[in-house]
Each structure stands twice: as structure tokens, then as C-alpha cells.
Amino acid sequence: MNIKWKIILSSVAIIVLLTSSILIFTYYEISGLVFSEYSEELQNYSSMGLQFLNTAYDGEWSIIGGKLYKGDVLINENYEIIDNFTKGTGVLTTIFQNDTRVTTNIVDENGKRQIGTRASDQVIEQVIKQGKAYSGAADILGKSAQTHYVPIKDNSGEVIGMWFVGIYTDIISEKISNAMQIIVLIAVVLLVVGIIISFLLGNTIARGIRLIQDRLQSMEKGKFNFQFDEKLLNRKDEVGAIALSSKNMQKKIADIIKNIQLESEKVKIMAEQSLKRMKEVHGDIEDISATTEELSAGMEETSASTEEMNASTYEIESKVANMKERTLHGENLAGEIKQRAEKLKDETDVSYQNAFDIYERTNVQLRESIKRTEAIEEIKELSQSILQITSQTNLLALNAAIEAARAGEAGKGFAVVADEIRVLAENSKSAVSRINEITYNVSEAVESLVQDSKALLEFVDNQVLKDYKMLVNTGSQYAQDADTVQEIVTEINIIAEHLHDTILQMRQAIDEITIATGEGAESTTGIATKVADIASKTDDVLNQILESHRSAENLDEMVGFFQTN
């Protein structure tokens, strides 16, 4: 049996067992609730019935002449009382005189009312003798019923009868049966739904496991070039977790196999390259063997060449000594140039400082003079004030003359004075106007002088001082150039000395080379012997590389079983 049916059957068995247990539990619970409900309902009916009797019929309960009365109303075989109360309710009702039914709505199969019959001994004991109410099951005409008995007492408190209400349990059972039918129907529907869900769930789980099984079987066959279903991977249950773990395992194994394939291919390629290179080495060794013979002949030619080189070094040594003397002369000349450049720089510095001091003094004095020319503006302002005063004086003199004319003879002396004041004011105005003209001319001349002075200062500041600075910088640059030339000549002299020493060393080296070439000719024979030994060992290495190449091909063939792409 596959896992699908195991899951389905297990789920169905659990659902059936659970449903059966719930139904049984529900039946007993509903039965208890219904019986409890009817018991309470019977008690309510009993209370309502007694209240109805007390309301409808005044008076106390009593037995008169062997008959039961409620007030003046005879109860024995008075069916109207019972029928009015129980009409349309389906409730069984009886009034007992002591333990015997005297009026009731209980009828037999023929429709005859069951009066004159006694209550059960248990009811008589509890209700009649003990004066307590009784609730519980009872047998009525051979049928089970749920009943409630209440004692009827006279005015002295003695129990003289019973008030009974009840209902056949068939009605209760029918109600319970109807409720259980609905519940069973719902349970059956839920059971079917549960079975369907179990089937779908089992099918879903089994399908996921089958998909994982198919992928694992593919990996068993060496096929790793497949994809897991995204829906399967996105599941949030154990099947999804197994699928995700299987995917991770597939990826890791595929990566390992890919790495093995790559490394196998690399080993194969390296073996081929090593084989190729060893063949090249073997050929090179044979070439070396031939070269050693040529080297011996070359050594003899080298010996002759070194003798010619030795003769050439003597001539080079003579020319280098001559160059060394010339560099010493150039070094002395560069020192003289440096001294003249430093002297020019010092003299230019002194001239620049003198010119700058004169410029500073002149600049300060000239600016102070320009400030003093500002007094001319004050003269202009004072002249304007005097002109205003003369105008006012002239106006006052005119007013005084008018007042003197009005005064007549008494004002003639005052008129003469006023006229003189007016003439004086006119003369003052003319003098002030002349002063204004002169002041204006002087102001223009001073302004022109100020502008020329500023232009002169700017020329000195922007041109003369800059030229002095440029001359100072030129002297400094000449001094630096002289230092540079001296350094270059000194370096050339040092190089010439080093070159002279190097040539001497070359002569010694050439002598040593001459000796070494002779020794090299003797060594070539030993080299040829060693080359032959190396050729023998390279044959062994070549055989080992061939074996490695065959192993790499076998590994590549084994890994080729797996499909990862």
C-alpha cells in the first residue's frame, strides 16, 4: 500500500472514530438537556395550572361527601377545568383525590378518560405521605412519561390530593430523534468533507513525495540537470522541507561533480601539456648536446676577441682621462659664474630696498598732502554761508529802508544807515563770489595734482617695483643656474672618474675572461656527459606522464556518467 492510501485511510479512520464519539456524546448531552428542559417546563406548567385554578375558582381545596371541591366547584369528573388549561399544549394533566384520579385528559385506546385509577406507590409515598413534590419518569397506561406531581392541601395543611402534569417520553424522544437526525446529517456531511479533504491532502502529500522520489531516482541514474517544481519548494510543510533539502543536496552534489569534471579536464590538459613539454625538453636536451660542441669552438674564438677588446680598453682609458681634465676646468668656470650672479643679486636687492623706502615715504607724504587739500571744501562751505548771510542782510536793509520811508522825516537817518548796510552786503557778496571762483580754480588744480600723484604712485607700485623684483628674481635665478651648472659639471667629473675606474675593472675582467674561456672549453666535455644523463631521466619522466594521462582519461570517463548541464 502506497503512502497516499495510508494517509487517506488513517485520516478517514480518525475522522470516523472522532465523529462517532462526538455523535454519542452529543446524543447523551442533547437527551439530558431536553429532559431537563421538559422537566423545567413541566414544573412551569404545574405552577401555571395551580395558579389558573386558584384564579378561576375561589375557595380552598376540600373533600365534602367523599368528593373533591375547589371552593364550591366539584372537581370530580369536571373535565372542563382540565381541557381549558391543556388545550393545544399536548400536556397530560390529572387531579387526584388522595391517590385516585378524579379528572384527567389521559385517555385509553378507545378514547375513554382514565379516572378511578391510582398513582404509583413511589408517587403516593413521596407526595401523599411526605407532602413533597415529585418529578421523574412514570408509567402511564403502559407508556413511559416524564411527570411532575404537587400535593393538594386543605386549609388545615393536610394532603387531600395531587396535581399532576406530564408528557409522554415518546414526544421527547421524537424531538431528540429529530435533533439527532439533523446532527447526524451534518456529521455525515462533515465526514464526507473530511474524507474528501483527507483524499486531497493525501494526494497532495503523495504527489509531492512522488516528485521528490522521481528527482532522487534521476540523481541515482546520474542525472543532475533538472529543476525542482517551485510550488513544491514553496510548500510550508515537511514535504516542502524535504524538497528544499533534496534541492540543496542536488546542487551540492552537482557542484562537486562539476568541480571533479573540471579538475579531471584540467588534469588531462596538464598531462597533455606536460607530455608535449617533456617531448620539447627531450628535443632541447639533444640540441644542448649539439650546442656544447659548438660552444667549445666558440670558446676559442672568444679568447681571440678578448685580446682585441683588451687593446681597445687602453685607447678608451686615454680619452676618459682627457674628458676628466675638461670637466675640472668647467667646474671652476661654473664657480666664477655663480659668484658674479650672487653679486648681481645682492646689488639688485639693495637698489630695490632703496627704491621701496623712497616710495613708502613719498606715498605717506603725498597722502597727507591730499588730506590737507580737503580744507578747500570747507572754504567752499564757509563762502556759501557768507553768501546766505549777505542775502539776509540785504533783505533786512531793504525792509529797514521801507520802514524808514514809512516813518517820514523821523526815519531818514535810519534809511541812510540801511542803505549803507545794503551796499556793504552787496560788496560782501561780490567779494565772496570772487573767493568762490578762486577756490573753485584752486580745487580743480589740487584735484588734478591729486590724480597725477595717484597715477605716479600706481606707476611706481605696479611697474617700477615689479621691475626691481623681476631683476632681483633674475639675479637669484642666475645664481641657481650657476649652482645647477656646477652640480652638472661635478656629476660629469664624478662619472668620468667612475668610468675610468670601470674601464680598469673591464681590463681586469677581460683578462679573467681570457682565463675563463680556457677553463670553459674544458667544462664543455663534462656538460655533454651530464646532458646525456638528463636525457635518460627525461625518458623516465615521459613514461610517468603518459601513465598520468591515461589515469586522467579514465577519471574523465567515470565522471562523464553524471549529467549536470
Mean of pLDDT values over 133-159:
86
Tell me the pLDDT tens digit for each residue of 172-218.
667 777 777 888 888 888 878 877 887 777 667 666 677 766 667 77
Count of H-run helices and E-run strands, the chain? 9, 8
Secondary structure element (H or E) that encloses residue 445, with its range: helix 412-459
Mean of pLDDT values over 345-355:
71
Is the pLDDT reported for residue 521 higher than 60?
no
Q: Kindly report the average pLDDT of the chain as a whole number.
A: 74
The whole-number pLDDT of residue 158 equals 93
Residues 6+ apart with CB under 8 A from 377: 443
Edge to edge, the sheet with strand 67-70 lists: 61-64, 67-70, 73-74
Tell me the pLDDT tens digit for each residue of 306-338.
666 666 666 666 766 676 676 677 667 767 766
Q: Using N-to-C axis directions, what is the helix angle for 375-407 and 412-459, rounded to 10°?
A: 170
Q: Is 111 helix (H, G, I), strand (E, B) or coil?
A: coil
Tell me the pLDDT tens digit for each residue of 246-257.
777 767 777 777
Going by CATH, does the domain composed of 3-200 fall within 3.30.450.20?
Answer: yes
The whole-number pLDDT of residue 489 equals 63
Distance CA 539, CA 533 (A): 10
Provide the pLDDT confidence category of residue 19 given band limits of 50, 70 and 90. Answer: confident
Cell readout for 293 is 660542441
Is the pLDDT reported for residue 149 higher than 90?
yes
Could you report how far apart the first and last alpha carbons of the chain are, in Å? 36
Distance CA 335, CA 168 (A): 149
Cα-based distances in Å from 176 to 26, 27, 167, 450, 550 = 10, 8, 14, 131, 90
Distance CA 24, CA 30 (A): 10
Provide the pLDDT confidence category of residue 33 given band limits of 50, 70 and 90. Answer: low
**Which of the residue ranges 127-141, 278-292, 300-314, 548-562 has the most confident prediction, judged by mean pLDDT?**
127-141
The whole-number pLDDT of residue 152 equals 93
Domain ranges across the chain: 3-200
**Which of the residue ranges 108-117, 251-260, 359-368, 494-503 has the most confident prediction, judged by mean pLDDT?**
108-117
Tell me the pLDDT tens digit for each residue of 456-482.
667 666 776 676 677 667 767 766 766
Mean of pLDDT values over 531-549:
72
Is the pLDDT reported for residue 126 higher than 70?
yes
Tell me the pLDDT tens digit for each residue of 42-86.
888 888 888 888 888 888 999 999 999 999 899 998 888 888 887
Provide the pLDDT confidence category of residue 392 given band limits of 50, 70 and 90. Answer: confident
The whole-number pLDDT of residue 62 equals 93
Alpha-carbon dihedral 149, 155, 157, 158, rounded to 10 degrees: -70
Q: Are 56 and 48 in contact (CB under 8 A)?
A: no
More confident residue, 119 or 330: 119
Provide the pLDDT confidence category of residue 132 given band limits of 50, 70 and 90. Answer: very high
pTM score of the predicted model: 0.34
Is the pLDDT reported for residue 540 higher than 60?
yes
The whole-number pLDDT of residue 168 equals 77
Residues counted in the chain: 565
In this structure, the strands spanning 159-168 and 92-97 are antiparallel
Provide the pLDDT confidence category of residue 97 given band limits of 50, 70 and 90. Answer: very high
The whole-number pLDDT of residue 299 equals 58
Provide the pLDDT confidence category of residue 95 given band limits of 50, 70 and 90. Answer: very high
